[in-house]
Structure 1
Amino acid sequence: MELTNLTICQIISNYPETRDVFVHNGFPQFADDAVLQQLGPILKLKTALKSKNISLAAFVRLLEEKIEDTGLYHRLAAMSGLENSKRLNMVALLPCPLKIPLQTELNRFVEGLRQSREVRLEYCAEAFSTNMVNYDEYIKYFEDPDEVPDILITAGYSFFNPLFMSRFVHTGIFARIGYGNVDYRLEQAGLIDRESHFAVIAANVLVMVVDVNRLGDLPVPGNWKDLLQPIYEKQVVIRGHNGEFCDIVQLNFYKEYGEAGLAALAQAVRYGLHPAQMVKELKSSRRDVPSIHVMPYFFANTLTDQPNIRIIWPNDGALAFPVSVLVKTEKMELYKEMAEFLTGPHIARVCGEAFFPSVHPAGMAGFPDNARFKWLGWDFIREHDMEQLVEQVNALFVEKQQKEI
């Protein structure tokens, strides 16, 4: 087997001396053992190099020269029979508040599978905030089904990449997972696409948090369109860092109100912060803090002890993005129990306790009966190149915001 078809972990496991080649030629993250363990087992060499626009032939030459220099070079074909690195069966890319509680339950369930059915499932769960383990940049370069884990849990736009969709989703690599009970509120919002290969577990939702003291005489906004009024100029904070702002917010405003609405939103937003930073500044005594913060419902509920804070669930719906699961068709029988567990009542309650509305009604006890959700829609996702659209909309937003500064 050629080096190009091996994973990073297979290459480094069999030829430890090659690690320096990776670290000093575009992949410094592989100096970290934890990153190598989590990303290395699923990332093939050819895919990694494509993502960095590095010459495949030149890089392979570097690897072979390194192996020869240390006297450990041997026939590459012999590697095809070696299994020195474990294959990663499942990857979960989760919002921060959901990572720890969901990972705890996954650990228990996976251990139960090992003991009861001797089904071994190697997996890793990562938060989107992880800096070094960044699966997103490699997804569009995956070409072979064996590069993709058997089970994927995600809450981002990356897996809606048109190349990933055309290669692995539309071709039936992943199964359609049926639903049992479905909460009517998420059904009405269109979060459930029964024809989709993405089985929705729950939703990450964004609400408005208003400091009425800092708001002063201005009216408390009741819906998202209110934020486009000139009276809220520079009164809003959304998630953002280093010129990249919250795509959920941007895309919903772009879909509803076009470029003019996006420009008005840019006028309303003073700056971007991580939700944890929003909570910190709202609890501070600083007088220059904007009065309206758009943040996940989880973080909003850490401020309920503040008498000056109002959590606004907008009349037109909290902005929602699905947490969904993909399971390979050929492995569906093997992982049927896992699929049922992820879409069942227990995980629903775990999600609900983390303030993530769940598709299964068991996790919806803490949410308002009349709660509405605002989701872009599966048709919108299918009709657009989401990676391109996210970049385009963010660029427009940043351009408009900088003009206002």
Structure 2
Amino acid sequence: MDKTQTISALFEDSEVSDQLDFFGETVCALKPAFREGYNEAAAIFRQTQGRSMRGYLPAICGCDGIKGAENIHRVRENYHIDQMPAVISSFKLGSYFFSPFLTKCTGKGYFEQLNLPIHPVFEKSGLRDPNGEFHIFSVLPSVLLVDKKRLGDRPMPRLWSDLLDPMFAGEVALPSAHDAISPILPLAVLRDHGEEGLEKLRRSAHSMMHSQDMIRNAGNKVAGPTIFVVTWFFAQACPHPDVELVWPEDGALVEPSFLMVQKGQQDVYRPLIDFIAGKAFGEISAEHCYPAANPEVENHLPKNAVFNWLGWDFLRSAPLEDRITEIKARFADLNV
């Protein structure tokens, strides 16, 4: 069975690094299953194409300030289509949604319109790219954990806009990554409520926390946040009986895992596409609270659950990297 080449072998020669078949990033919880599925797809590729697949699957989680990140940036920030991997799989609202990639590489016919079937909840939530270039195959939902004792007789927050109410001033824990605020909620607030909404969210903010710290703190301290904005993956693991998991009525905020395939390469890389967007990997994803787009997968969502996607128009309306930089600066003084 074919394996991925070592990163040193791939990158010691610049010509080799410009000829990757596949660049595959995935969330930490799914890395073992992702690599196993890749190896099986690579073996089929060798049988059908008569050569080994050149794939790079970063082992590290995250990127900023981590050894080996320079190789990830080297692949992500190469905007010459003839030097890019034929197939890209990545996650979150990072560099592939930033203006350099969007302006130089999308809207030019460089990528296949895969038009794969997707789950009705994904369709209803607008997750299908109208341009057909990004295929979102799973999402990471963010929900609320609410400490009922600290909430007292106040109404349970059911909408994201409820967090902006003055009665929750200084009581909302916001998610962090690499000592900076995770931008998904502020971006949604900016989309729906503008700059005034961001000021209200800053007023409501108690601190920034990693999701693991949130589920340890929720319900366990006399003083602390009342509301925690946390991924569904971690929220499900919170054991405290005085904490309620709330899937907002206007939808769990979602970040994407997505697939892009260069024009004319769909048949060549069919084993990869079938693995990433297929039922088997989708079921593993769903088991880890990353709902899958494949309509054959049972995602075990709450009744009437919907997703709150930032929207393609919003993401393409202004440089996302500038918005994120401004958001991080606005919330930089929060305690971590």
User: Same fold by TM (over 0.5)?
Assistant: yes
Task: Letter of the 2:32 partner, please give it.
Answer: I
Letter paired with 2:95 = S
Task: From the superposition, tell whether residues 224 and 382 of structure 1 become closer, same or farther in structure 2 (CA, over 3 Å).
Answer: same
Match of 1:300 among 235, 244, 267: 235
Of the three residues 289, 297, 317, the one matched with 2:224 is 289
Q: 1 CA distance for matches of 2:28 and 2:144?
A: 19
Q: Would the alpha carbon gap of residues 242 and 307 (structure 1) be closer, same or farther in structure 2, given more than 3 Å must change?
A: same
Confirm or deny: 8 A CA contact 2:42 2:271 kept in the other structure: no
Q: Which residue of 2 aligns with 1:184?
A: 120
Q: Distance in 1 between matches of 2:12 and 2:243?
A: 46
| C-alpha distance in 1 between matches for 2:253 and 2:200 | 18
Q: Which residue number corresponds to residue 42 of structure 2?
A: 110
Per-residue deviation, 1:119: 4.8
Find out whether 1:354 has 2:288 as its counterpart.
Answer: yes
DSSP-derived class of the 1:185 partner: helix
Q: Kindly report the root-mean-square deviation, in angstroms, between the aligned alpha carbons of the 2 structures.
A: 2.9
The answer to whether structure 1 residue 316 and structure 2 residue 253 are counterparts is no
> Is 1:166–2:103 an aligned residue pair?
yes
Residue of structure 2 equivalent to 1:129? 62
- Unpaired runs of 5+ residues, structure 2, are 1-5
Q: Which has the higher contact order (CA 8 A, sep 6+)?
A: 2
3-state SS, counterpart of residue 57 of structure 2:
strand
1:44-55 to structure 2, matched below 5 A, reads none
What CA deviation, in whole Å up to 9, does each residue of 1:319-343 have, x standing for no partner? 0122110111243221023223322
Can you list the C-alpha shifts for 1:250-291, whole angstroms capped at 9, x where unaligned? 1001111111111111111111122122223337x4333312
Cα contact 1:189–1:375 (8 A) shared by 2? yes
Residues 174-232 of structure 1: per-residue CA shift (max 9 Å, x gap)? 2211213x211111110112422111101111000112233333332111111111111
Residues 1:351 and 1:247: Cα distance change in structure 2 (over 3 Å): same
Secondary structure, counterpart of 2:300 in structure 1: coil
Cα distance in 2 between the residues matched to 1:155 and 1:138 = 17
Q: CA deviation at 1:307?
A: 1.5
The question of whether the paired residues in 1 share the 8 Å contact of 2:25 and 2:91 is answered with yes
1:299 offset after TM fit, Å? 0.8
| Residue of structure 1 equivalent to 2:20 | 88
What residue is the counterpart of 1:236 in the other structure? 172
Residue pair 1:352, 1:364 contacting (<8 A) in 2 also: yes
User: Secondary structure of 1:363's match?
Assistant: coil
Is 2:41–2:271's contact at 8 Å kept on the other side of the alignment?
Answer: no
The one-letter code matched in structure 1 to 2:213 is Q
For normalisation by structure 2, the TM-score amounts to: 0.86
Judged with a 3 Å threshold, the aligned counterparts in structure 2 of structure 1 residues 37 and 225 are, in CA distance, closer, same or farther, namely: farther
Which residue number corresponds to residue 3 of structure 2? none
In terms of fraction of residues, the more helix-rich structure is: 1
Distance of 2:280 and 2:51 partners within structure 1: 21
SS of 1:307's equivalent? coil
The answer to whether the 8 A contact 1:234-1:290 is kept is yes
Contact between 2:126 and 2:309, CA under 8 Å: does it hold in 1?
Answer: yes
TM-score after normalising by structure 1: 0.72
Unaligned runs of 5+ in 1: 1-33, 45-79
Q: 2:112 aligns with which of 171, 175, 197?
A: 175
Q: Distance in 2 between matches of 1:202 and 1:41?
A: 33
Identity of aligned residues (%): 24
- Describe the superposition over 1:124-172 as per-residue Cα deviations: whole angstroms up to 9, x where unpaired: 3345524234367557752423442221112223102222223222222
Larger radius of gyration: 1
Query: How far apart, in 1, do the equivalents of 2:105 and 2:251 lie?
Result: 32
The amino acid across from 2:86 in the alignment is D
Letter paired with 2:202: A
Q: Distance in 2 between matches of 1:169 and 1:194?
A: 12
Aligned positions of 1:242-257 closer than 5 A: 244-257=180-193
> Are residues 290 and 110 of structure 1, via their aligned partners in 2, closer, same or farther at CA, if it must alter by over 3 Å?
same
Q: Distance in 2 between matches of 1:139 and 1:161?
A: 15
Do 2:158 and 2:249's aligned partners in 1 also have CA atoms closer than 8 Å?
A: yes
What amino acid maps onto 2:330 in structure 1? Answer: L
Partner of 1:68: none
Cα displacement (A) at 1:116: 6.0
Question: Out of 205, 223, 236, which is 1:269 matched to?
Answer: 205
Secondary structure of 1:88 counterpart: coil
Q: CA deviation at 1:117?
A: 5.2
Q: Assess if the C-alpha contact under 8 Å between 2:144 and 2:227 holds in 1.
A: yes
1:55-106 per-position Cα deviation (integer Å, ceiling 9, x unaligned): xxxxxxxxxxxxxxxxxxxxxxxxx7xx7x8953222222333333333322
Conserved in 2, the CA contact under 8 Å of 1:351 and 1:363?
Answer: no
| Partners of 2:223 and 2:193 in 1: CA distance | 29
Distance in 2 separating the partners of 1:86 and 1:261:
44
* Equivalent pair of 2:140/2:254 in contact (CA under 8 Å): yes
